[in-house]
């Protein structure tokens, strides 16, 4: 895949940042003033307040390194940064964003790397898109800093964890950024300063390369988990690396594989994986409490499932509301039922032959994507695939939860096609449900039916995923 976009981390990459305890003690008065405007007065000294924030920061980073969730600023400050003041997130909601902005601009010293404007100008001359993917609790700090540095016009898109809700190294935020830029992830490179967030996340999302730039700041996290494709000390070293990738692209273009079909998109459930004991734990939960399906249960469950799959309610809320259909109100019993449903959905088996088939198709030069109806976070499924060696090959992953629509809505297929820049007639959809295969066919895609519904019409039919590389519609 030809290089099309260069994405940068912000803190530690575009700019450097640091702090000292003394600096924070002096600057923390801005936090105190912000709190006082909402009537929150604390007798805590500046030293105590600064140390409380620093300690809370470390605790929050440990938590979200595991969860990959970016909480709202009011929740961060109430639960972690100011937890010893025993405030609620509702107390801090009116000033949450202001506190986050103060933290990231006043409690750190930030400086743009001096070579950045020259580097961005050269990348732009190469005709490449430029974007930013940043973990940040404030929704304003990165745009503010880019404008202050005079470089904001270079960046589109700018993707922030505070807006998206997920943090690096979750591959979902990288896929989201590539989708906004309308480029496959394999056409992107990423530059960041942290291995455990930037390099790992970009590689898990199938970025062509993940480059580490040296930054002296150390937040105490073990910085490991991946091997960067390159190390640089100064951003000027990025330019010859990019030129190398572009030169490789010229050689690749001369050796094009000649496939008429350029891209293959897969449904996920019952194509790449399945659940052999579907609803086993949920059924056991119902039996253990002698619960029977009430009238209209299936219809109401489908309604709730549609809300969850289109992102209108959370996956947890979906489970909880399904349990409530049985008239259950006891919190402990609801939690037990939710755990049972979650266990069922989290138990998946990769279908035999899938890893080697996907890798074979990738090696043959096909663009690969997933188009899935799901209420799950993307990282859960990619974790399953990673364990079997085919989690980092996907150029795009289109999730109904993010798009807000479900197959066979044309938007699901078109999002994937537009991102990778392939016409429908040059793409194949592999699915099992008649309606979803019909939906792909109606917008002009070729179709392959696997484990398919009765009455399904497709361009090719296979009984085993390992037959796909040999089907006639992929030949020539």
Mean pLDDT of 221-237: 94
Distance CA 125, CA 225 (A): 34
Mean pLDDT of 270-295: 94
Residues contacting residue 185 through CB under 8 Å, at least 6 positions apart: 174, 175, 178, 205, 206, 207, 208, 394, 395, 396
| pLDDT(254) > 70 | no
On the 0-12 / 13-18 / 19+ scale of CB atoms within 10 A, 288 is: exposed
Which pLDDT band, with edges at 50, 70 and 90, does 218 fall under? Answer: confident
On the 0-12 / 13-18 / 19+ scale of CB atoms within 10 A, 64 is: buried
Cβ proximity of 82 and 57 under 8 Å: no
Specify the pTM. Answer: 0.93
| pLDDT(437) > 90 | yes
Distance CA 457, CA 448 (A): 9
Q: Which residue has the tokens 């996290």?
A: 221
Which pLDDT band, with edges at 50, 70 and 90, does 474 fall under? Answer: confident
Mean pLDDT of 177-201: 97
Architecture of domain 263-274+349-474: 3-Layer(aba) Sandwich (3.40)
Alpha carbon 240 to chain centroid, angstroms: 29
Distance CA 262, CA 368 (A): 9
HEC string of 347-389 equals CCEECCCHHHHHHHHHHCCCEEEEEECCCCCHHHHHHHHHHCC
Angle among Cα 308, 309, 311 to the nearest 5 degrees reads: 65
Cβ proximity of 37 and 159 under 8 Å: no
Mean pLDDT of 200-217: 96
The mean pLDDT of the chain is: 95
Cβ proximity of 321 and 313 under 8 Å: yes
Rounded to 10°, the helix 434-442/410-420 angle is 50
Mean pLDDT of 156-177: 97
Q: At 17, is the secondary structure helix, strand, or coil? A: strand
The predicted-structure confidence for 77-99, as pLDDT tens digits, reads as follows: 999 999 999 999 999 999 999 99
On the 0-12 / 13-18 / 19+ scale of CB atoms within 10 A, 439 is: buried
Handedness of CA 60, 64, 67, 71 (dihedral sign): positive
Look at residue 21 in the predicted model and tell me its pLDDT. Answer: 96
Ordered by start, the domain boundaries in the chain are: 5-14+111-254, 20-107, 263-274+349-474, 280-346
The superfamily CATH assigns to domain 5-14+111-254 is: HAD superfamily/HAD-like (3.40.50.1000)
């Amino acid at each position: 895949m030809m290089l099309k976009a260069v994405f940068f981390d912000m803190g530690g990459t575009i700019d450097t940042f640091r702090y000292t305890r003394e600096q924070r003690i002096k600057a923390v008065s801005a936090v105190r003033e912000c709190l006082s405007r909402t009537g929150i007065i604390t007798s805590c000294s500046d030293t105590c307040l600064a140390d409380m924030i620093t300690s809370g920061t470390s605790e929050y980073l440990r938590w979200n390194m595991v969860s990959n969730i970016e909480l709202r600023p009011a929740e961060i400050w109430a639960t972690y940064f100011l937890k010893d003041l025993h405030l609620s997130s509702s107390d801090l909601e009116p000033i949450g964003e202001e506190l986050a902005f103060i933290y990231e601009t006043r409690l750190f010293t930030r400086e743009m790397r001096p070579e950045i404007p020259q580097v961005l100008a050269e990348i732009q001359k190469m005709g490449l898109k430029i974007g930013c993917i940043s973990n940040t609790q404030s929704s304003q700090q990165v745009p503010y800093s880019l404008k202050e540095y005079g470089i904001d016009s270079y960046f589109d898109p700018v993707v922030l964890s505070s807006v998206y809700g997920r943090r690096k190294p979750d591959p979902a935020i990288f896929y989201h950024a590539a989708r906004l830029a309308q480029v496959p992830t394999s056409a992107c490179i990423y530059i960041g300063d942290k291995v455990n967030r930037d390099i790992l996340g970009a590689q898990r999302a199938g970025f062509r390369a993940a480059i580490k730039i040296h930054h002296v700041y150390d937040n105490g996290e073990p910085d490991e988990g991946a091997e960067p494709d390159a190390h640089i000390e100064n951003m000027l070293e990025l330019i010859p690396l990019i030129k190398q990738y572009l030169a490789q692209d010229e050689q690749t273009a001369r050796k094009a594989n000649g496939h008429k079909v350029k891209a293959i998109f897969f449904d996920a459930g019952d194509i790449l994986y399945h659940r052999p004991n579907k609803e086993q734990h949920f059924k056991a939960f119902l039996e253990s409490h002698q619960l029977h399906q009430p009238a209209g249960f299936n219809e109401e469950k489908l309604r709730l499932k549609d809300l969850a799959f289109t992102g209108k309610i959370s996956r947890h809320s979906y489970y909880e509301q399904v349990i409530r259909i049985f008239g259950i109100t006891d919190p402990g019993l609801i939690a037990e039922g939710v755990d049972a449903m979650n266990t069922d959905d989290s138990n998946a088996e990769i279908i035999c032959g899938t890893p080697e088939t996907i890798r074979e198709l990738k090696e043959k030069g096909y663009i690969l994507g997933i188009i899935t109806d799901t209420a799950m976070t993307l990282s859960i499924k990619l974790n399953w695939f990673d364990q079997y060696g085919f989690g980092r090959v996907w150029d795009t992953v289109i999730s109904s939860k993010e798009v807000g629509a479900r197959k066979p809505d044309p938007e699901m297929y078109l999002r994937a096609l537009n991102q990778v820049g392939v016409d429908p007639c040059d793409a194949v959809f592999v699915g099992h449900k008649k309606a979803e295969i019909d939906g792909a066919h109606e917008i002009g895609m070729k179709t392959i039916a696997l484990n398919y519904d009765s009455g399904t019409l497709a361009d090719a039919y296979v009984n085993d995923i390992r037959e796909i590389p040999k089907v006639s519609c992929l030949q020539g």
